[in-house]
Amino acid sequence: MSATRPEAVLATGLRKSFGTEVVLDGIDLAVPAGSVFALLGPNGAGKTTTVHILTTLLAADGGTVRIAGHDLATDPDAARRAIGVTGQFSAVDNLLTGEENLRLMADLLHLDRADGRRRTAALLEQFDLVDAAAKAPSAYSGGMRRKLDLAMTLMGDPAVIFLDEPTTGLDPRTRRMMWDVVRDLAAGGVTIFLTTQYLDEADELADRIAVLDRGRIVAEGTSAELKRMIPGGHIEVRFTGRAAFDTAARTFSRARRDDDTLTLQIPADGGVRSLRAVLDGLDAAHVEADELTVHRPDLDDVFLSLTGRPRPAAEAQQKELVR
């Protein structure tokens, strides 16, 4: 379905070097309007440089970019009017109240007073900040500050929002609250370009994911498509009796066996067809399994396979936090 939608972000042959160091080596990106697109990559892969170019903060050395139909080279002002940017560090002013921050943004965008007040009231309601509108952001929780920051980005009603590490430093509950906000924005037709080191975040939110490594896109697709690229899926079958286990092991000669736990790991892609084949094999051998579990590669496995590096440190720290 997304193939029929126009591209909100279209980059072709994007190149950028700093001195002799090639940071982007001819990358192509196509993000359909109204979708969530995640750009993953290890530190130093070129994610921030990509976002800076797409948001007109940095000029590319080569290639073309169109944002919401506007060419960055010939009509950068129109492209800027179509985008909003929210970084990992909040841009709110602690000397103003939440409402005043939003009104200041309306003034910077040259909205007339009536439109500014209307948009401010609507955004405070949308992000559940009405009760905190008269308070300074210094009194907000981390999640409230991030919501205010995002509300300020939406003041100009952008067609495309770039979210650079939007949940860095947030606790797991607040991260999931922000995920709901992103989903609601996408459901309303806003295009989300997300850069993140949290692989579960990309898995949860993104319609499509691109993996950037050493300045090149090394893979792109849906989360499921990327996972299918990586070998290692299997169906784990556990038995309670030795006889059944031995019979099944002879039936599935390619299976990896654990004689201590009476468990077989049968290579499979995790799809319905492979699961049915295992069940049919057990039936044909007249053995009954006690427990059967499907294991598929996750984005950690994809990241490691494609970049040769484990998941980013931020993700590892987050997983330790929630254990």
CATH of the domain at 278: 3.30.70
Query: Which range of residues forms the domain containing residue 262?
Result: 234-295
Q: How far apart are CA 204 and CA 180, in angstroms?
A: 10
**To the nearest whole number, what is the mean pLDDT of the chain?**
88
Whether residues 155 and 265 fall in one domain: no
Report pLDDT for 164. Answer: 86
314 in any annotated domain: no
Predicted local distance difference test score (pLDDT) of residue 89: 64
Same domain, 130 and 112: yes
pLDDT of residue 311: 53
Answer yes or no: do 224 and 98 share one domain: yes
Residues 92 and 199 in one domain: yes
Of the candidates 228, 253, 275, which is a domain's last residue?
Answer: 228
**The pLDDT of residue 88 is above 70:** no
> What does the pLDDT read at residue 322?
37
Tell whether 125 and 192 lie within a shared domain. yes
Please tell me whether residues 258 and 191 are part of one structural domain.
Answer: no
Given a cut of 90, whether residue 298 has pLDDT beyond it is: no
Write the single-letter amino acid at 290. D
What region, left, alpha or beta, does residue 22 occupy, with left being phi > 0 and alpha being psi -120 to 50 degrees?
A: beta
Angle at which helix 98-108 crosses helix 142-154, to 10 degrees, equals 20
303 domain-assigned:
no
241 shares a domain with 202: no
- Lowest-pLDDT choice from 169-173, 215-219, 257-261: 169-173
pLDDT of 206 over the 90 cut:
yes
CATH number at residue 23: 3.40.50.300
Give burial (CB, 10 Å; 0-12/13-18/19+) of 189: exposed
pLDDT higher than threshold 90 for residue 226: no
Residues 143, 274 within the same domain: no
Query: Among 180, 197, 228, where does a domain finish?
Result: 228
Q: pLDDT by residue (tens digit) across 232-289?
A: 678 999 999 999 999 999 999 989 999 999 999 998 876 788 889 999 999 999 999 9
Q: For helices 172-187 and 142-154, give the axis angle rounded to 10 degrees.
A: 20
pLDDT digits 0-9 by tens, 24-48: 999 999 999 999 999 998 888 899 8
The pLDDT of 204-223, averaged and rounded, is 93
Q: Supply the pLDDT for residue 1.
A: 44
Q: What was the pLDDT predicted at 310? A: 54
Residues 143 and 263 in one domain: no
Terminal C-alpha separation, the chain: 38
**pLDDT tens string 96-142:** 999 999 999 999 999 999 999 999 999 999 889 999 999 999 999 88
The predicted pLDDT at position 177 comes to 84
Q: Is the pTM of this model over 0.85?
A: no
Are 213 and 80 in a shared domain? yes
**Count of the separate structural domains present in the chain:** 2
pLDDT of residue 312: 54
pLDDT at 232: 67
Q: How far apart are CA 138 and CA 98, in angstroms?
A: 10
Last residue of a domain, one of 228, 251, 278: 228
Better-predicted residue by pLDDT, 175 or 16: 16
